[in-house]
Amino acid sequence: MTKERIKSAQQLLKEMEIDGWVIITDQGRDLHTTLLLGKKNPSRLLILVTPDKSPTVIVSQMEAPIFEDIADIEVIPYPSNKEFLEQIKTEFSQFSDNSATVILNYVDDPLGRDGTFDLATYGEVNKLKTMFPEIEFKPAASFLKKLRTIKTDSEISAHEMACKYTLEILEDVPNFVRVGMSEREILSEIDCRAKKVGEPSFDTIIGVGPDAASPHHVPSSFERLKHNELLLIDMGVFITDPSPASSDQTWTFYTGTSTEKARQMYEAVYEAKERAIKAAKPGIPAYTLDEIARSTIEEFGFDEKKLFIHATGHPLGIEVHDVGPIISRKTPYSEPLLEPNMVITIEPGLYIKDLGGVRLEDDIVITKTGCKRLSYTPSELSQIG
């Protein structure tokens, strides 16, 4: 719920002793508008969040109705850019104290891994610093990491709903996918169904036959599903109600009677996924789950270094690759400990050139004592036709 997200942001501002958080954006460029208010906005706006007052949304007259039904915020419409700047000056007058600290969604190092926080343009940041030299403007990255890594109860409920919608589509694949369909025809059917409940949370991945050996294959109009081959579908649904959230799930299918090799690959990947999920709990480094998945792949006789060529999982949130620990080999990005209310994916895979690939992906939420599944994959290779 919007009220819960606003309260969470305000509490974090207090804890970090920050006087204000500013979202300034145009053409919906800053996803934190959606994170905070559950709405997308196509025009220029500024949102000011302070520890104690209701957030202020300065928005064009045309787009103001988008936000007027949201409780606990103040909507200030502006008719032109001149009035936009005047309203900003009025709102920022509360920071007349020279010691005020305000955070903006930009980063000092644009070549780092913080691109999801580098959303305000150089011109916007420079303009605010010029207009208000008495205010200390700082990057919001550390604040946003804390805000987005640990999900609220309503955000977790939204993830469950997004996963439910995704599962309904994947479960129905054997009923609407047929041999002879192109990868793009399959994609179009899946994306159409996703748009009935939300929208695709990323570019849907469809890989048929040998194309399934490319983890991020771009679907083609020319590659068509044939008899006796693998079909990999990696998809997700993004919703904004009851809260912004993405799902990310991968199922692998087979047309006709599967080969022994395909079944062996599927069994290895499924067991790797299941063992990693069963081990997921708070207090362990994220890379632990990656180690479990890789050792399982090896146990089944596959060379994980050559055939399992990506991380075991990633954080999930308003973005499909969200903020938080990476479930990968040991690196500074996978060393952080898992914490309750983190939402992550577990997605081991095996990829063999000229044959295809098997990837299975579930979404889970870390709980106080372990984890809760938000999705599932079939325990055996699903047949089509």
Query: What is the Cα–Cα distance from 249 to 171, expressed in whole angstroms?
Result: 12
CATH 3.20.20.10 fits 2-148, yes or no: no
What is the structure's pLDDT at 169? 98
Domain residue spans of the chain = 2-148, 150-384
Paired with 24 in beta bridges are 46
pLDDT beyond 70 at 111: no
pLDDT beyond 60 at 321: yes
pLDDT in tens, 72-90: 899 999 999 999 999 999 9
Higher-confidence residue of 260 and 40: namely 260
Over residues 369-374, mean pLDDT? 98
Over residues 133-141, mean pLDDT? 93
Query: What is the Cα–Cα distance from 221 to 187, expressed in whole angstroms?
Result: 10
Confidence of residue 109 (pLDDT cuts 50, 70, 90): low
State which H helix or E strand residue 45 sits in: strand 45-49
CB atoms within 10 A of CB 29: 15
What is the structure's pLDDT at 140? 94
Lowest mean pLDDT of 91-105, 237-251, 270-284, 336-350, name the range: 91-105
pLDDT beyond 70 at 70: yes
**What one-character DSSP code corresponds to residue 132?**
-
pLDDT beyond 60 at 380: yes
pLDDT beyond 60 at 110: no
CB atoms within 10 A of CB 201: 23
State which H helix or E strand residue 270 sits in: helix 260-279
Confidence of residue 301 (pLDDT cuts 50, 70, 90): very high
What is the structure's pLDDT at 118? 84
Give the whole-number percent of the chain exceeding pLDDT 90: 87
pLDDT beyond 60 at 92: yes
pLDDT in tens, 234-261: 999 999 988 999 999 999 999 999 999 9
Q: CA geometry: angle at 131 spanning 60 and 43, to 5°? A: 20
Q: What is the layout of strands, in order, in the sheet containing 249-255?
A: 205-208, 230-235, 249-255, 382-384
Give Cα separations from 187 to 118, 173, 212, 221, 362 (angstroms). Answer: 31, 11, 14, 10, 20
3-state SS assignment for residue 335 = coil
Tokens, residue 55: 């957030």
pLDDT beyond 80 at 97: no
159 within 8 A of 150, measured Cβ to Cβ = no
pLDDT beyond 70 at 59: yes
What is the structure's pLDDT at 113? 55
Confidence of residue 29 (pLDDT cuts 50, 70, 90): confident
pLDDT beyond 90 at 332: yes
155 within 8 A of 321, measured Cβ to Cβ = no
Report the Cα 375 to chain-centroid distance in Å: 15
Whole-number mean pLDDT of the chain?
94
What is the structure's pLDDT at 42? 85
Rounded (10°) CA dihedral 72, 78, 82, 84: 20
What is the structure's pLDDT at 117? 82
Q: Which residues of 324-334 are buried (b: 16+ CB within 10 A; e: fewer)?
A: bbbbbeeeebb
CATH 3.40.462.10 fits 150-384, yes or no: no
What is the structure's pLDDT at 41? 84
Q: Which residues of 222-256 are buried (b: 16+ CB within 10 A; e: fewer)?
A: ebbbeeebbbbbbbbbbbbeebbbbbbbbbbbbbe
